[in-house]
Structure 1
C-alpha cells in the first residue's frame, strides 16, 4: 500500500510539472505564427526577426549547465517554479513591448525560463520513478510537451486573428504566472538526492566530474546528433525550405511542417517503451535513426527538380523521431550519474542538442546568404548541407564514444541486454588517459 501511494504521488507530481513543460513549449514556439505581426509591430525586417529565435535558442543552450547545477543545489521544485515565473513574466513583457529592444528583452526572459524547465522535469522523473520506467516517462513528457507546440500553431493563429497581439500574449503570460502557485504547492522531489546536499563538491569540480564520465560524453553526442534536425526545421527553416526550396503551396507546407510535431507526439511513447524495456536496443536505435536521417537528406537534396510530397512527408516524419530518440541520452545519464549529480550531467547533455540546433539554424542562414545568386531550389539545397554536416559530425562522435565506452568496460556492454554499469574511477582514468583532448 505504501508503494502504491508513493507511485500515485509520483504521477501526480509529474502531472503538475509536465503541464508546466507544455506551457514552456507553447511559449517557445509562440512567435512562429506571430512572425508577420511582429514585423509590423516592431518595424523590423526578416533578419532582425530571426534574432528572436537565435537569442532564445542561444540562451537555452548556454543555460543548461548552470540549470543542472541549480537543480542539484536547490532542488527541482524551486527551479521549476522559478522557470514558470520567468516564462510568464517574459510573455507579459513581450505582449506589451512596442520597441524591438524591449521585445528582445521579453524573449530573453522567456528563454531563460524555458531553459530551466526540462532539466527540472527530468530531475523529478529521475527521483520519482525507477530506472526501468525513466525512459518511458521522459519520452512521454517530451511527447506531451509537443502538444504545446501544436497549440502554438493554428490555435494561436486563430486567437491572434480574433483578439489581437496584446490580449493574446498577455492572457498567456498571466495564466502562466498564476500556475506558478500550483508548482510551488504540489511539486515535491524524492528524498534520496537531498541527503547528499550538505557534502557537495565545488561547482567546478561537479561539472568536471560529470564531464569526466564516459557515459556523459556518449550521451552528449547522442543528444547532439539526434535532435537538431527537427529543431532547426520547426523553429526557423522548415517552412521557407518547403515553400521556396521545394515549391510547395503555403497551406500544404504548413501541414507538412506539422508532421514534425505529430511525429514527436506519436514517437515519444513508442521510443520510450522500447528504450526502457530493452536497454540493449538503445544505441542500435540511435544509430538506426541517424542512418535513416542521412538517407532522407540524400533523397531530398539529390531529387530533381523536387521530390513528390509523399517522400517529403516521410522524410519529415523521420526527422520528427529525432526528439524522442534524443531522450536515450537522458536514460544513459539517469543510469550512470550519481543521484546528487544527475541534474548537472543532464544539463550538460541537454546543452548538446540545443547548441546543435542553434548552429544548424545559423549555418543554414549563412549558406543561404553565400548562395544568393543561385535559383531558389539550388540555394536551399546548398543551405541544407549545414544540417547534413552537423549530422555527420554528431554520428561520427557518437560511434567513437560508443566504442570507447565499450572498450573501457572490457566488453561491448551497450549492445548487450543489460545497461552499462556505472563507470568507476579507473574506467574514467583509462578513458581520459587516451582521450582527454577530445571535445
Structure 2
C-alpha cells in the first residue's frame, strides 16, 4: 500500500479500472468454463446431462440473489476489501471444483465461484463511478463490459484448445491461479476511491439498508429501467447463451463448430458496441434515445438472422455481429439507473438492475424450450420471443424519463480523496 499511496489520483484511478476489469474478465471466464469441457466433466464426476446442468447452474442461483447484498455492502464499506474477498473466493471455488472427485464438493465449489463472482461487475462499475468524472461513466462502464465479452469470445476458443491438450483439470487449476494473482494485485495496488463509503457514516448499518432498499425498490423509474435491461439483454441470454447454436444446426444446416463460430460474433459485436455506445452517449450527454434506437436495430438484426431465407454463414455472422453491436447499448441502462440515484446508492441500484437481468436468463431460457414444445418442435417459432422482447424494451424505454441526479451532473463536486 505504500507504493499505491504515492501515486497521483489519475494513476490510482486507472489502476483501479484495470484491476476491476481483470476481475470481471476472470469472472466471465469462470462462468463459461464448465461448458468448454462438458463431456469430460460429466465422465469425471459420473453425471448425466441433467446432473451437469444442475451443478453448472448453481453459479447463477447464488450469483443473482447476491447482487443486492453486494450493492449494499459496496455503498456502505467501499470496494477494495470485496474485490479481494470476491476474487479469492472465486479462485478457491475453481480450485475446489478441479481437485475433488466428489460431485457434491464440485457443486459446493461452483456455489463458491458464484458467490465470489457476484462482486465483480458491480464492483467494477462502482469503482468507475467513484474514481472518474460522471461524463466518463458510460464509456468506461462499456469498456468493462467489452473486456468481459472479449474474454468470452477469445478465452472460450483458447481454453478449449488447452483443454484438448492438457485436460480440463489442469486448465481449471491455472485459471484459479489467475484469480489469486488478481487478488494479490488488488492487495498491493488497489486504492479505495473517495466516496460516501470512505467518509463519516451519516446513519447506522440498518438505516443504510432500509433507506437504500426503499429508494431503489420504491422507484418506478428504476423498475422501468431494470425491465428494459432484462428485455434488451434477452437475445444474449437466450440466443447467444443457449439456443443459438442449436437453431443454426437444425434450421441452417451448420455443423456445431461452425455454428459456435457464427454465434461468437454476437460477443464481438457487444464488445464493440458497448464501447462505441458509451463513447457516443458521453459525447451527447443522453442515454434514453440511444437505448431506444439500439433496441430497435437489435431486434431487426436478430429478426433477419432468424427468418431471412438462404443466408450464407458470412451473412448470418454479419447480422449477429450487428445484433451484438447494437445490443451493446444495453449497458446504458445501468448508466440511466445510476444517474437517477444519489451517489450513496450507486452500488445498490447497479446491482438491482444486474440482478433483474441475470434473473431473466432463469426465466427465458426454459420458456423458449417450453414454447418450442408447444410449437411442435419448431424452434424458430419459439425464438420469435427474441426480437419481440427487444422491441418491447424499445417501447417501454420511451416512457422512462431521462433524469440525472445533481451528483452525476458534469462538474459535480467530488469528495476529497482518501488513501
Q: Is the 8 A contact 2:302 2:320 kept in 1?
A: no
Aligned residues between the structures: 398
1:174 and 1:298, CA in 2 relative to 1: closer, same or farther beyond 3 A? closer
Secondary structure of the structure 2 residue equivalent to 1:61:
helix
Match of 1:220 among 226, 240, 254: 226
- Tell me by how many angstroms 1:354 deviates: 1.3
Q: Which residue of 1 aligns with 2:73?
A: 70
In the alignment, structure 1 residue 384 sits paired with structure 2 residue 360: no
Instruction: State the alpha-carbon separation in 1 of the partners of residues 302 and 98 from structure 2.
Output: 38
- Per the alignment, do residues 322 and 362 of structure 1 end up closer, same or farther by CA in structure 2, a change over 3 Å counting? farther
Q: Give the structure 2 partner of residue 332 of structure 1.
A: 336
1:248 matched to 2:254? The reply is yes
In 2, are the aligned partners of 1:139 and 1:327 still within 8 Å (CA)? yes
In the alignment, is the contact (CA less than 8 A) between 2:72 and 2:347 conserved in 1?
A: yes
Instruction: Give the match for residue 367 of structure 1.
Output: 371
* CA displacement at 1:300 relative to structure 2: 4.1
User: Within 2, Cα distance between the matches of 1:40 and 1:152?
Assistant: 23
Tell me, in whole angstroms, the C-alpha distance in 2 between the residues paired with 1:323 and 1:196. Answer: 40
Instruction: Determine the structure 1 residue equivalent to 2:284.
Output: 278
1:166-198 Cα offsets, whole Å, 9 max, x none, are 211112113312431221232222223122534
The alignment status of 1:422 with 2:391, answered yes or no, reads no
Q: Distance in 2 between matches of 1:60 and 1:387?
A: 24
1:353 aligns to 2:357 (yes or no): yes
| Contact 2:227/2:356, CA 8 A, preserved across alignment | yes
Normalised by the length of structure 2, the TM-score is 0.87
Contact in 2 for aligned 1:54/1:358 (Cα 8 Å) = no
1:45 Cα deviation after fit: 3.1
In structure 2, what is the equivalent of residue 26 of structure 1?
29
Q: Structure 2: which 5+ residue stretches go unaligned?
A: 1-6, 408-419
Alpha-carbon separation, structure 2, partners of 1:421 and 1:335: 5
Aligned partner of 1:238 in structure 2 is 244
- 1:301–1:161 CA distance, 2 compared to 1 (3 A): closer
Distance 1:395 1:216 in 2: 16
The equivalent of 2:414 in structure 1 is: none
Q: Give the CA RMSD over aligned residues.
A: 2.5
Q: Which among 107, 120, 125 is matched to residue 123 of structure 2?
A: 120
Offset of residue 389 of structure 1: 5.2
**Aligned position for 2:190:** 187
Structure 1 stretches of at least 4 aligned residues deviating more than 4 Å after TM superposition: none
Aligned to 1:51: 54
Match of 1:411 in 2: none
Secondary structure of residue in 2 paired with 1:331: helix
Deviation of the 1:38 alpha carbon: 2.2
TM-score by length of 1: 0.83
Partner residue, 1:434: none
2:324 — aligned with what? 320
Runs (5+) with no aligned partner, structure 1: 406-413, 415-419, 425-439
CA distance, structure 1, for counterparts of residue 164 and residue 195 of structure 2? 49
User: CA–CA distance in 2 between the matches of 1:184 and 1:265?
Assistant: 28
Question: What are the superposed Cα offsets for residues 194-217 of structure 1, whole Å, 9 maximum, x if unpaired?
Answer: 225342534133111123345423
